[in-house]
Amino acid sequence: MKQFEVPSFYRSPIISKVKAKRKLEDPRKKDFTPTELHFGDITFVIARHFGFCYGVENAIEKSYKAIHENPSKRIYLLSQMIHNPAVNEDLMSHGLQFLQDTEGKQLIPFETLTKDDLVIIPAFGTTLEIEKKLTNIGVDITTYNTTCPFVEKVWNRSEKLGETNHTIIIHGKHQHEETRATFSHSSTNAPSLIVKDINEAKILGAYILGEIPLDTFLATFKNKTSVHFDPETDLQKIGVVNQTTMLASETQEITLYLREVMIKKHGEEQIKEHIADTRDTLCYATNDNQTATLSLMEGNADLAMVVGGYNSSNTTHLVELLEQKFNCFFIKDADEIDSKQWIQSFDIHSKEEKKLPFLTEQKTQRIILTSGASCPDSIVDGVMMKILSFYYSSEDIHSFLTSFQ
């Protein structure tokens, strides 16, 4: 796999070595058991896969390349390049500005741009409508386009489904940048509809089977269907694709459920005519990270920690998994750890940061640690070092790290 040129401060002295060792031992990624790092009485249980994925490293490399190759140009990010505050803040420190926020609200009018400016398309991609606006101005949006190849794969699959007259069912959050982009692309090729989760999929299935009225369907999927979408005719032949950061297991659950709906409506013999096999649209990195997280849940720990941006969809799903078994804390970096006793953790349900009791007084601690696909390893290192500082002197920690190396 390609090696990306990512600024050195995103790397780490601890996690990078762990990943390199596991890659050497398991190049085909068949072993999803976690790594255990022992620092005296503190054990960190590290997920087999986590942190920067191919798409994120590609986006970071291209963004810094744009900075270094164009010192005299105005450079803009269409929106957050990835959902990690530290990465976006560092890019802004180099003079980059955001044109939009994550929900698509305009921060800087496109009308102020000129053909001499550069605009970096984020890893999530963007809509065809925005591409057209920028292209009409003459802005270069291709040289440093950081759209993830796996997002583009979903777009290409949607195009193929449109050619065979399938309606596109997108598993995603309809306000997420990636889903907005995928919806824009798929809508040009076929009728398209967004389902957030299995519950919405079941409403869709109930309508297909004639179990609920049209009004219920329209209320549920308001602003989530393409223009001129006709539920009566556009749900005869479907294919499911996904926002690549969603839970892969839920995408599969939705697909299998809708397949059963189509069998019930049209019969087993005709199923291939009514729902496409779209398992090839699942992102390998998302799938690996989630599988590694499930492996963490097979063991025991005193607590779990997930590190990453609070608006990161893939990171949130890791929290959803781990909190089913463990007391799970979600933090963006080590600064959220106030002390040994208290931590500022983000609640994914209330969307608020909460001050919570942290480490207990027991001598030994077994701590699960993982991060989202947009979180630098150096930030995970910082979390480990902060926790170790509550138990050991700097000399002891240095001794541990020396022996680890």
Mark whether 178 is an active-site residue. Answer: yes
Which residue, 276, 326, 335, is CA-closest to 301?
A: 326
What are the φ and ψ backbone dihedral angles of 306, each rounded to 5 degrees?
-120, 130
Tokens of 320: 């959803």
Which residue, 292, 331, 291, 284, is CA-closest to 312?
A: 331
Q: DSSP assignment of 332-377, as one string?
A: SSGGGB-SSSEEEEEETTTTEEEEEE---S-S-EEEEEEE-TTS-H
Q: Specify the 3-state DSSP secondary structure of 91.
A: helix
How many Å apart are CA 135 and CA 132, to the nearest integer? 5
What are the φ and ψ backbone dihedral angles of 43, each rounded to 5 degrees?
-120, 125
What are the φ and ψ backbone dihedral angles of 37, each rounded to 5 degrees?
-110, 120
Helices in 1-82 by DSSP H: which ranges?
15-25, 54-69
How many Å apart are CA 197 and CA 199, to the nearest integer? 5
Burial of 318 (0-12, 13-18, 19+ CB in 10 A): buried
Q: What single-letter amino acid sits at 338?
A: D
CA–CA–CA angle 244, 248, 252 (5° rounding): 120
Q: DSSP assignment of 109-163, as one string?
A: -GGG--TT-EEEPPTT---HHHHHHHHHHT-B-STT----HHHHHHHHHHHHHHH
Catalytic position from the list 57, 131, 177, 178: 178
CB 27 within 8 A of CB 36: no
Q: Considering Cα of 192, then 195, then 196, then 197, what sign does the dihedral take?
A: negative
Count of Cβ atoms closer than 10 Å to residue 393 Cβ: 10
CB 125 within 8 A of CB 245: no
How far is the first Cα of the chain from the last one, in angstroms, to the nearest whole number? Answer: 25
Q: Which residues are catalytic?
A: 178
